[in-house]
Amino acid sequence: MDLLTKAADGLWNPWLLGLFLLTGLVYSLGSGFFQVFEWKLWWKSTLGSLLQPQRPQGPGLSSLQALATALASTMGTGSIAGVAAALTLGGPGAVFWMWVSAFLGMMTSCGEKLLSVRYQRSGPDGTFQGGPMFYLNDGLHAPILGAFFALAGLPATLAGGNLVQSSSIALSLEAAFGLPRLSVGLCTALAAGLVMIGGVGRIARSSTALVPAMALLYMGGALAVLIHNFSALPEAFHLIISCAFSPSAALGGGCSWTIAQAMRYGIARGVFTNEAGLGTSAMAHGAARVDHPARQGMWGIFEVFLSTLVVCTLTALAVLVSGVFHPETPSSLTGAPLTAAAFSSALGPMGSGIVALSLLLFAFTSILGWSYYGQQCLNYLTGGKGLGLYRAVFLLCIILGAVWEPGAVWQLVDLCSALMALPNLTALLLLAPEALQLLRQFQNFTHI
C-alpha cells in the first residue's frame, strides 16, 4: 500500500492537480465562462430538450442514453464513499476544492464530449465509437498516446470501475444487513455478467432505468438529513471555507490536515466522481448520435453539475451537519460507513438502509458503465480480440473487490486515474482551439 500511495502522490502532487485546473481554466476562459453566462443554453439543451418531441433514433445511442451510461459510472461509490473518504483524508476543506475542480471541470467535460463526437467512428454493427483514444489518434495525430490511454484504461476499469465499486457494495451490505462479502461479490458478478452479454444497448437501457431512480432515492435521503439538521448548515459551510485555506486556524493548532491535503483529496475525489479530464465518460458520450458535436458537450456540463455539485455536495453536507464527524478528533469511521452513520443519525435504521440500497444501485450501474469502457479500450487496441478473457477477468475482479481492503483499492484508483488523465489532458489542451470554435458555432446556431 505504501508503494501505491507514493506512486499516486508523486503523480498527483502537484502536477496533475495543476493540470486538471489549468485545462478547466483554459476552456472556461476561452469560452467566456460558458458554464455561467450561457447556463440557460446548456440547461435548455439538456433537461429542457426532454420536454420536446423526440425524433426517431437511428444507429447509436440517444443523448439521454449516453448520459445515463456515463452517469452510471460517474455516480458510483465516489459520490457516497469517496466524498466521505475525502473528508477524513483531507478535512472539510477538501469539499471546497472539490467544488473548484467541478466548476472548472464542467468545461473540461464539455470539451471531452464535444471532441468525442467530433472524432467518433462507425463500428461494424452500425453503432458509434468515440473517446480520447480516437481524438488522440485522429485529431492530435498521436497514435502512441491513443494506445497509451487505452492501455491505461484497462487497469483503470478493473480498479476504479470495479474493485472500488464491489468493495463498497460488500462493506455496505455487510454493515447494514450482515451479508457475507463473498456471497455479495458472487451475486453482483452474476448480475453484471447477465447485463454485459447484451452489449452497449443493454447497458444503456439498464442505466436509463436505474440512474433516475437511484439518484432520487439518495438525494431524497440526503435532503431529509439536511432538513433535520438545518440549523447546523451555516456552520458546515463556514467549516468548509475556513478549512480550505487555513485548517489549523479553523480547527486548532493540533489539526493534522494541511491545505495541500485538502486540495489533493478534494480535487482527486472530485475528478473521480465526475470523471472530467479522465476521458472515461467521454467514451459513452462518443456513442451518441447528435446533430452537432457541441450538443453532447452540453450534456457533459450537466453531468458534472449533477454528479459533483449536487450529489457529492449533498453527501458532504449530510456528513458535516449530522454530528457523527468530528474534525477536531477524527474517528475510525470513513467511506460508506461514515455516510451511513450520518443518514442514520437523522433517519434511524432507515438511513443506513437508504445508503446501502443507494450504494448497491450506484456501484452496480457504475460497474456496468466501466465494463463498457474497458471493452472499448480493448476494441481499440485489438479490434475486439480477447473480449471474452477481459469479461472473465472483469467479473473475477468484482468478487475480489468484495473481500479486498478498501484503503489499498482507493490508492490504486488514484494511480490508474493519473495514468489515464495525462494523455487525455494533453489532447484537450492542444485541441482546445478546435473545440472552442465548435462551441462558438453551436452558440451562433442556437442564437439565430
Question: Between 204 and 141, where is the model more confident?
Answer: 141
% of the chain with per-residue pLDDT over 70: 90
Whole-model pTM: value is 0.88
- pLDDT tens track for 389-445: 999 999 999 999 888 765 666 677 778 778 889 999 999 999 999 999 999 999 987
Whether the per-residue pLDDT at 124 is higher than 70: the answer is: no
Whether the per-residue pLDDT at 256 is higher than 70: the answer is: no
What domains lie within the chain, and their CATH numbers?
A: 2-49+59-326+334-447 (1.20.1740)
Q: How confident is the model at residue 167, as a pLDDT?
A: 82
Lowest-confidence segment of 190-194, 248-252, 422-426 by average pLDDT: 248-252
Confidence of residue 56 (pLDDT cuts 50, 70, 90): very low
Whether the per-residue pLDDT at 62 is higher than 60: the answer is: yes
| CA distances in angstroms from 55 to 52, 201, 262, 312, 357, listed in the order given | 9, 18, 46, 34, 35
Question: Between 390 and 332, where is the model more confident?
Answer: 390
Q: How confident is the model at residue 138, as a pLDDT?
A: 95
Whether the per-residue pLDDT at 259 is higher than 80: the answer is: no
The CA distance from 430 to 140, in Å, is 8
Closest by Cα among 78, 126, 84 to 359: 78
Q: How confident is the model at residue 251, as a pLDDT?
A: 63
Closest by Cα among 113, 166, 132 to 366: 166
- Helix, strand or coil for residue 292? coil
Confidence of residue 291 (pLDDT cuts 50, 70, 90): confident
Q: Which amino acid is at 62?
A: S
- pLDDT tens track for 149-174: 999 899 888 887 888 788 878 877 88
The CA distance from 179 to 227, in Å, is 31
Residue with cell 453527501: 315
Task: List helix spans (H) across 159-246.
Answer: 164-177, 181-196, 199-228, 233-245
